[in-house]
Amino acid sequence: MAWTAAMLRAKERAGPGNFAILLPAREWQVPVILALQRGAELLRDGDRYGNFESSAFRAAFAFYVDLFRRGLAPRTGDTALANLYQDFARGYFSLYVTGPWNIGEFERRLPAALADRWSTAPLPAPGADGPGVSLAGGASLAISRASRRKDAAWQLIEYLSEPAQQVEFQRLTGDLPARRAAWLAADLPSRRHAQAFWLQLQYVRSTPKIPEWERIANKVGQWAEAAIRGDMTVDEALGSLDRDVDAVLEKRRWLLGRRE
């Protein structure tokens, strides 16, 4: 694919000891995103079982592991970095998959000489033009059920959710707002570093909406690391992943069985 060709060229220009892309060796987000781009369903049978040995997930997982095996990404992942922004500035890696919260950090932490030499882009789609899907996620504002000041808490949430406050939050942090109205009020879709995230937001999918997902996600990272380090093959890692996920979902299957 074109993305691989671009990484090969970046690696060639970077030279020995440097890499095309920095990827985590024990996190779940990137391999899951790559799988969602291929239309993978992460769970099956009503979210009762893992579906990680499916052809779509396997293709994405194998592609991800191969980036490390071909030397396009460091096998140490991001654990050996002294400083993400300094290492990017010195050319240790050329590409980095991250979220909008890093726009402000890159603007503040990179040397002034690089101010006009970095940019953002949506994730590419495998075998197609245009963006591929990414994750729809983020954090939430919530009120504790046991709170003695629910009215005041709700007023705070309403205040923080207003477009004016979200625009101010973006100005102070560089992160992007949750509300479309705030994006438009600050003209963010036309800004250089924000444009790609505005476009990417039109191409997103969510992870399974079940309480066990965080445990499952950790398992994805665990077995991805085993494959990246060469401790097992892709097939062995995915078989182990499905078995672990099936065990995590055992109680869910029992509860759903009782309900039915």
Q: For position 21, which CATH number holds?
A: 3.40.190.10
pTM for the model: 0.89
Number of domains in the chain: 2
Residues 214 and 104 in one domain: yes
Average pLDDT, the chain: 92
User: When comparing pLDDT for 199 and 259, which is higher?
Assistant: 199
Please, are residues 73 and 10 in contact by the beta-carbon 8 Å criterion? no
pLDDT of residue 234: 98
Which domain range does residue 64 map to? 2-130+209-259
pLDDT of residue 36: 96
pLDDT of residue 162: 94
CA-CA distance, 127 to 196, in Å (whole number)? 20
Residues 173 and 68 in one domain: no
- In the DSSP assignment, the letter for residue 1 is -
pLDDT band at 259 (very low <50, low <70, confident <90, very high): confident
Residues 93 and 71 in one domain: yes
Residues 190 and 243 in one domain: no
pLDDT digits (tens, 9 = 90+) for 7-39: 999 999 999 999 999 999 999 999 999 999 999
Collapse the DSSP code of 95 into the 3-class scheme (helix H, G, I; strand E, B; otherwise coil) and give the result.
strand
pLDDT of residue 117: 93
